[in-house]
Structure 1
Amino acid sequence: MHSSLKLSNLSKFPPRFKKLAQESVSGSAEATMSLLATEELPPRCIPCLLPVIYSALDPAKIFAHLGLINSSTSEEDFLPNGVIWLQAVEKVICLRNLWDIKEQCHIPSAAFMDLWPRVWAWIDFLDEFRDLVPISQKTPLQTRYTIFLTSFQMFRGNEAVKNLMDKTPHLYAIVGRAWNIFLNGDVVTDTAHEPELEEDRLMGLDDVSYFLRLWSWSESWGSPSFEELVAGVGGTRSHLASLVVAHIHFALPTASTPAVEANVLHLVAMMYLVGGTGEESGTASRSRDSIFRDALLHKGAIAALTTAIQAIDGSTVPIAATVMQCMLRALVSLMNNFPRHKWVVQALDAGLLNVMLCCGSAKRLKEMSALLDDLLYDILPSTTVYHSVLSAFQRGLAKIQHIDVKARFGDEIYLELWEGLFRLVRPRLALLDEYDSGQLAASIHRACDNLECCNVVPKRELKCCNSCLSAVYCSRACQKTDWKAGHRQGCPILYAKRRGRPYSFTATKDRSFFRALVHDEYTRRREEVALELILFMHDDPKLEPYVCFVYINGTCELDIGAMEDLLLSDGDKCDNDNDQEEYQTSEAVDLESDSGHSDDSELRYEREPYVDFSYDVSRTKGSRGKLWLHLMDVLDRPGDEEQAQTWAFPIRYASGNESVMRGLREIAEELPKGANVRIRDLKPYLGRVRELLSKEEEGVY
C-alpha cells in the first residue's frame, strides 16, 4: 500500500475533523459523507482524505452490502437515509471526490495502482445492482454513470493502471450502459432533461466518445470488448445502431448546427461504427455484420449522416475535413444496399444534392472525388426510374435552386457529370409531372386481360382477380372467359410472384410508374426497336422475340431476346407447395375494386431460376398479335452481387398487329443469309419500317 493511503495520515486532520475521519474508517457512512462534504477542511488536509476513501471502498464491504440487500425486508432501507441507501451513496460520493482531490492536489502515481482494484470493484457492483440501489436527486443514474466514466478516464491517465484497465472485463459494458442512459435518459425517474442534469449528460457523452475512440483504435469488430459494448447498450446490434444514430443526431441535429470541436469529436467516435474509416480489416468484418448494417439503415443512419455532412461543411475545426470524408464514405456504403432506391429517397430528402455540392467544391474535391464518382456514375442514375426517387429528387432541387452550381464545383469534369445526371433526370421529371397530374394516358388506362376483349378503359373501371390480384377485367363475363382460356393455369403463378421479394420492396406507385416509363421509352424509340427486331429475326429466324428496356446503369439500353429463353426447365423451378396451399383454386373467383392491385406486373430474377415467365410467353404467343412482351430491367442487388430485377409489361392492342411483326420479318428474310448485318446496313429499309409503324395501333401496357 502506498504511504498516502495509510490510516496514519488521519492524525494530520485538525481535532474537529479527526473524530469524523476515525468514525468513517470504522464503517460510518454518515461520517464519510459529512467529512467529504465539508468545505472548511484546510487545503493541506485534502490529501488526508485519500485513506478515508481507500478504507470506504474496501471490496470486503461489498459482501456485507450484498447481504443487506438480500436480507432486507423493509422498504425503508432503500429510501433516502435508509441503511442501504446510505451505503450506496457513500461509495458514489467517494468516487466523485477522488476526482476533486486529483484536481486540487497531486495523487501519487503508485497510489493509483492501489486504488484502481477498489474503485473498479465498487463501480462494477453499483452497475450490476443499479436497479436495487435507490434513486434520488443526489445520485440519479446520469450523475452516477458520469462519475463512473470520469473515474475511468482519470485512472487511464496513469500508464500502469491503463494497461490493467485494458485487461479488465466488463468495462465496456458499463461504457455502453452509460451511453444508453445519457442519450435515452433515466426512464425510472424521468429526470433526463432537468436542467441540473444536462451538464452531467454532456460531460458523460464526452467521456463515452473518448472511450469509443479508444476502443476503435485498439480493438477489432467482434472482439470481446465489442460484445461487452453491445451487451451494455441493450444486448443486440439493433440497440447499438439506435444509439449510433441518436448520437450523430445529438452532435449535429440540423444542417445549420455549428460544428464546433466538441461536436466533431463526437462524430469521430461514431465513424468507425458506421464504417466511415475505410480501414480494410474493420470495414471487411463490419460489412459481414449484416444485422448491424441493416439496423443502421432502419434506424435512420442515412438521414443522420446526410444532415451531419452539411453541418460540418463550414467547420474550421482542423479534423473536420477528414471527418466529413469518413461520413460521406459511410453514407455511400450504406446507400449501396438493397433496396437501394429506398435509401436514396431518404438521403435526397435529407439534403443529398447539397452534400454533393459541398463535397464537389474546390477545397473538398480531391478527397471526395472517388465517392462522388459512386454517386454520379452509379447510385443516383440507377435509381432514377423510381417514382419515389424522382419525387425526392424534385423536392431536393427546390432546396438548392438558390445555389450557383457552376461556381460551387471545383472541376469542369464533375460539373459535366452533374449536368449529365440532370440531362438524364429532366425528361423523367417531366414524365413524373404528367403522371402525378393524371394527364398520362399510359398510367390511367388499362386494357381488359381477356384477350378476346382487350377493351381499354380507365383503371378505376376495372376489377381485379381476387386470388392473384394481378389480372384485371371489365366484366365478370370477361373474367370467366379468360379463366377458361388460360388464367386457370396462370393465376397460381401470378399469386406466388405477388408474394415475392420484389413486390415487398417496390411500392405500387413505383411499379405503376415503371409501366409509364417503359411506355414512354417505347413510344419515342419505336423505330430503333423495330430495327433491332429485324436484326434479331435475321440472326434467329425461328425464335419469337421480346424487347427488354435495361435501366441498370440509369440510361435505357435495348436488349432483344428470345421468349424461349425465358422458359425454365423443370429442374430450375422451385417448389411452390407452400404458396399453392394458400392459393384458392376455385373457379368461382370474385371481383374486387382495383384499390392498389391493378398492376399486371410480372417479374424474374436473373440467376434466380425459380421465377417463371411461362405464363407471359404462352399468353403472348397465343394472343394473335394482341400482346407484345416488353420487359424492364432495374438494379436489384447493388454491390459485388449486382443483379437485375426484371418486370414484365405486355403491351396490348385493341386488335391484331400481326402485320407489323410480319412486315419486319419479311425485311429480315431479305437480308443476306449468314451475313454480319448491322443497324447501318438497314438504312435502305427505313422507309418500309416507317410505313409499317405508321399503321401500328396505339397500345396500352
Structure 2
Amino acid sequence: MHPLLALENLEKLPPSHRVLAQAALSGSEEDIDALKESIDSLPKTDIVHTLPVVYALLGDSVHNEKDALQRFPVVQAALDLFLFVSVSGRGIVPSGVIPDLWPRLWSCFECIHEHLPESSAELKLELADMLIYAAALMLRDGKIEASVVLSTPGFYKVVGAAWATSFSPDPDATVAPHHAKLLQIVVTGAASSEQAFNDFVAGAGGSQDSLAALILQRMADHLPAPQAALDEEHIVGLGSLLGFFEMEGRPLRAPLVKSGSVDRIVSTCAVLLRNFLPTSSNPLRHMSEASFRHVILAYLNALWEHLIYPRYQERIVEALQAGLLPMLLTYAEAYDPSGPDKAISGRLMQILRILPPSTVYLSVLVQLGPSLIDAGSLHSGAHADFAEEWKTLVEIVEKRIVVVQEFETGKLPKYRACDNLQCGALRELGKIQRCSGCLSANYCNAECQSADYTSGQHRKHCKQLRVAHDSLVADISPSDLEFLRALVNHTYSDSATLGAIALNTAMGLEYTTFDFTRGACAVNNAPLRALANDTELIDQLKLELVRRTAGGIKESSGRARLDMHLVAIRGRTIFAPGPGAEARAVAVRWIAMPLRSSNTAFREESRRIAEDVYPRAANRETVKSEWILEQLEAVDVIQTH
C-alpha cells in the first residue's frame, strides 16, 4: 500500500479537519459530506491527506444483495469525495497511489454491481458513471496509470455500456475534458487490442452495427441546435469521437457507412465550417479559434476517406444528398492554399476534385444535376483556384446531363453485337439476348447462343466471363456500368474524337484509351506496351480477344470489325498507413470495352483519308474538323461498344 493511503496521514490534517475525517470513516453519508464540504478551506498541500478516508471506505466486502444496497451509498459518497479531492486539488493527487487505489475501487464496484438487484439498474448506471469519471481523472497523468486502469479485465466493457447509456461530456468545463480524454484513451486502447475492442463493442450494444449507430447519435448530441453557436463543449465532445474514425484498419468503416455516417459527417463539417469561417465582425476568426482546426480537419479527413474507397460513387451520392455542395460553397471565399488554414483548404479542394471523375456514374449525375441547382451560384469573391475547379465541375455536369437524357430515352447505346462469330450481327437492344450464365455475351437468339457454345469459344470461357463480370459489378452497379458504356459511345462519336481516332487507328495503333480519371475525357491511341504492367487489364484483353476466335476463325467479316477501346476510371484506392502519416494512391481501373462494327467500311475509309487525302490538305485542321467527319459519317456502318 502506498504510504499516502495509510490512516496515519490523517494526523497531518488541521485538528478541525482531522475530526471530520475520522468521523467519515464510520461510513455515514452525512459525515462524508461534511468532510467533502470542508476541503475548500484546506491548504492545497493538505488535501492529499484525506485520501486514506477514500481508501478505507472502499475496503469492506460485499457478499449479497443486502450488503450491496447498504454499501452503495457509502461507496457513492467515497467516490464523490475522491472526485472532489481530485478536482479541488487540481492534480495534487499523486499518481503513485493509483496502483493501490484503483484495484480496490474496481473490486468494490464489481462486487456491488454484481449483487445489486435488476430493479436497481439506475443505481448501477450511476455507480458506473462515477467510476468512469474517477478513471478519467486517474488517467490524466501518464502511461503507468493508463496501464493500471486499462489492463483491468472487464474495464472496456463497462466503459462501453456506460457510454452507451449515460456517459457523455458534462456541461461542467472541469468534467468534460476528462470524459473526452478517457474516451480517446479507451478507443486508442481498443484499437490496439482485439479483445479490448470486442469488450467495448459488447458493452456498447453487442455488435459493430449498434456501436456505429451510437457513434453517429453521439455526433448529433454534440452539435448545437440549428443556427446556435458552437462552443468549447461541442468541440470537446466531437473531438472525443474521432478515434472511432481513425482506428487502425478502420474496422468500423463499413458499419458506420451502413448507419449513415456520410450524412452525419457532412452535416457536422457544415456546422464546424460555419462556426469557423471569418465574419465581417471577426475577420480573423480562423486565426483566433485555432483550437477548432484539429477537429475540423479530422472530420474532413473522415469524409475524404469515405469518398475514396470502393463503390465511392455511392458515398458521393449520399454526401450530395446531405448538402456537400452548399458546404463547399460556404468555404469558397475563405479558401486559401497558402494561409494559416491551408490544410483545411487543401482537403476541401481534394473533396471538390473528386466530383468531376465521379460523373462517369449515372447515379452521381442524377444527383449532381439538382444539387448544383440547389447550391446556387458561386460568389464573385470566391478564390480564383476554387472558382476554376467549380467551373470545371459545372461544365462537365452540363455536358454529361445531355448524355443522361440520351441514355434514358434509349438512344445510347442503341445496339449490341452478337457474340456468335459466325453471325456477328449488330442488333437493337430489345432484339438481342444475354447469356444468363456469364451475363456478358450477347446473342441474336437461341440458335446463335447454341452455335457459339458448341462450336465457338463460349463453353470454355463462360465461367471466366462470369468471374470478370462479378468482379466489376462488385464496385460498379449494373446501371452505372451500362451508362459508362453509353458515355464512351457518346464520346467516341464526338466529331473531334472520331476524326482523331480514325486517323490514328489507320496508322496501326489499335488500342484507343478513354481516360476519365480527371473528369473530362482524354482520348489517345497507344500501343499495348504502354499498359503492359497492368496485369488485370492484360487479362481482360486476352479474354476479350480469345473469346472471339474459334479454331483460327475470326469475326466473319475480318478483324477490322473489332477495335479495342480501353476505358480508364478512378479505381480502388490503395491505402497503407505510413510512419507519422498516411500514404494513399488512387489507382486507375481499366475496363476493356471493344468497339464492334457491322462491316469494315469505317476502317477502310479511315485508312484512305489518312494515307491519301489528309496529307495533301492545305488546311489540315479544317479538314480534320469538318470534311473528315463528313466523310466518316457518310460510311454505311453501325458501331457500338
TM-score of the superposition, structure 1-length normalised? 0.69
2:639 aligns to what SS in structure 1?
coil
Equivalent of residue 622 in structure 1, options 555, 574, 581:
555
Cα gap change, 1:35 to 1:135, in 2 (>3 Å) = farther
Alpha-carbon spacing, 1:326–1:629, altered in 2? closer, same or farther (3 Å): same
The yes-or-no answer on 1:372 pairing with 2:348 is yes
1:132-211 paired onto structure 2 within 5 Å? 133-137=116-120, 139-155=122-138, 165-170=145-150, 176-177=156-157, 180-185=160-165, 207-211=178-182
Distance in 2 between the 1:148 and 1:259 partners?
Answer: 29
**CA–CA distance in structure 2, aligned partners of residues 503 and 111 of structure 1:** 60
> Is the CA contact (8 Å cut-off) linking 2:201 and 2:208 kept in structure 1?
no
Find the aligned partners of 1:200 and 1:174 in 2 and give their Cα distance: 24
Instruction: Provide the C-alpha distance between the structure 1 equivalents of 2:372 and 2:474, rounded to a whole number of angstroms.
Output: 29
* 2:587 match: 643
Describe the SS at the equivalent of 1:552.
coil
Distance 1:381 1:142 in 2: 50
Across the aligned residues of Structure 1 and Structure 2, the Cα RMSD in angstroms comes to: 4.9
SS in 2 for 1:406: coil
1:614, CA displacement in angstroms?
2.7
Aligned length: 595
Aligned counterpart for 1:250 among listed residues 221, 227, 250 = 221
Are 1:315 and 2:275 matched, yes or no?
yes
- Pick from 396, 405, 416: which aligns with 2:371? 396
- Identify the match of residue 304 of structure 1 among 243, 264, 289: 264
Cα offsets for 1:556-592 (capped at 9, x unmatched): 1113346899999xxx9xxxxxxxxxxxxxxxxxxxx
Question: Which aligned pairs between 1:230-629 and structure 2 lie closer than 5 A?
Answer: 231-234=199-202, 244-252=215-223, 258-271=229-242, 274-275=245-246, 289=249, 291=251, 300-315=260-275, 318=289, 319-362=291-334, 366=339, 367=341, 368-377=344-353, 379-401=354-376, 404-407=377-380, 409=382, 411-435=383-407, 438-443=408-413, 446=416, 448-450=418-420, 452=423, 454=425, 456-459=427-430, 462-483=432-453, 484-500=455-471, 502-525=472-495, 528-538=497-507, 540=508, 545-561=510-526, 605-606=536-537, 612-615=543-546, 618=549, 621-624=554-557, 627-629=562-564
Instruction: Report how far residue 493 of structure 1 moved.
Output: 2.6
SS for the counterpart of 1:390 is helix
Report the Cα offset of residue 132 of structure 1.
5.5
- Matches of 2:94 and 2:504 in 1, distance apart? 88
- Number of the residue aligned with 1:660: 602
For the Cα contact (< 8 Å) 1:566–1:612, is it kept in 2?
A: no
Kindly indicate whether the alpha-carbon contact (under 8 Å) linking 2:564 and 2:593 is maintained by their aligned counterparts in 1: yes
Query: 2-side partners of 1:658 and 1:300: how far apart?
Result: 52
Distance 1:351 1:258 in 2: 20
In the alignment, the residues of structure 2 paired with residue 386 and residue 482 of structure 1 have an alpha-carbon distance, to the nearest angstrom, of 32
Within 1, Cα distance between the matches of 2:93 and 2:513? 76
Q: CA deviation at 1:94?
A: 2.1
Closer, same or farther in 2 for the Cα pair 1:608/1:122, shift >3 Å? farther
Gaps of 5+ in 1: 26-30, 69-76, 186-191, 276-285, 573-603
Q: List per-residue Cα deviations over 1:138-172 (Å, max 9, x = no partner).
A: 75444223212322344567x7xx67524424269
Q: Which amino acid in the other structure matches residue 470 of structure 1? A: S
User: Take 1:646 and 1:440, find their aligned partners in 2: how far apart are those partners?
Assistant: 26
Q: CA deviation at 1:412?
A: 2.0
Q: CA deviation at 1:661?
A: 0.7
Change (3 A) 1:255 1:321: farther
Q: Deviations over 1:616-641 (max 9, x none)?
A: 65499514265544332212123555
- Picking from 80, 83, 95, the partner of 1:99 is 83
Q: How far apart are the structure 2 equivalents of 1:32 and 1:213? A: 36
Is the 1:57–1:119 contact (alpha carbons within 8 Å) kept by the matching residues of 2? no
* Rounded Cα–Cα distance in structure 2 between residues aligned with 1:381 and 1:128: 60
Question: 2: distance between equivalents of 1:44 and 1:549?
Answer: 75
Cα distance change of structure 1 residues 262 and 116 upon mapping to structure 2, 3 Å threshold: same
Match of 1:73 in 2: none
Contact 2:5/2:55 (8 A) holds in 1: no
Structure 1 pair 425–684 and aligned structure 2 pair: CA distance change class (3 A): closer
Q: Offset of 1:264 from its aligned partner?
A: 1.2
**TM-score when normalising by structure 2:** 0.75
1:557 to 1:618, Cα distance in 2 relative to 1, 3 A? farther
- SS across alignment from 1:646: strand
Report the Cα distance in structure 2 between the residues aligned to 1:685 and 1:445, rounded to whole angstroms: 26
For residues 632 and 405 of structure 1, the distance between their equivalents in structure 2, rounded to whole angstroms, comes to: 32
**Contact 2:169–2:237 (CA<8 Å) still a contact in 1?**
no
SS in 1 for 2:572: coil
CA-to-partner distance for each residue in 1:386-413, whole Å, 9 max, x for gaps? 1122123234324413xx412462x123
d(CA) in 1 for partners of 2:14 and 2:155?
A: 35
Q: Deviations over 1:78-100 (max 9, x none)?
A: 3xxx2344345542442124335
Corresponding residue number in structure 1 for 2:633 = 693
- Please say if residues 369 and 397 of structure 2, whose CA atoms lie closer than 8 Å, have aligned partners that are also in contact: no
For residue 232 of structure 1, report the CA deviation from its aligned partner. 3.3
Paired residue secondary structure (1:631): strand
Deviation at 1:553, TM superposition (A): 1.7
Secondary structure of 1:259's partner? Answer: coil
Aligned-residue sequence identity (percent) comes to: 18
Distance 1:110 1:291, change over 3 A: closer
Amino acid corresponding to residue 264 of structure 2 in structure 1? A
Amino acid at match of 1:635: R
TM-aligned CA distance change 1:96 to 1:331, over 3 Å: same
Secondary structure at the residue paired with 1:361? coil
Which range moved further: 336-345 or 84-93?
Answer: 84-93
Compute the displacement of 1:102 (Å). 6.6
SS in 2 for 1:384: helix
In 2, distance between residues paired with 1:111 and 1:564? 69
Residue 584 of structure 1 aligns with which residue? Answer: none
Instruction: Look up the equivalent residue of 2:379 and give its one-letter code.
Output: K
Partners of 2:541 and 2:592 within 8 A in 1: no
| 2-structure distance, mates of 1:109, 1:133 | 34
- Conserved 8 A contact 1:302-1:347: yes
Alignment match, 1:280: none
Task: Name the SS for the 1:632 alignment partner.
Answer: strand
Is the alpha carbon distance of 1:117 and 1:347 closer, same or farther for their aligned partners in structure 2, counting shifts above 3 Å?
A: same
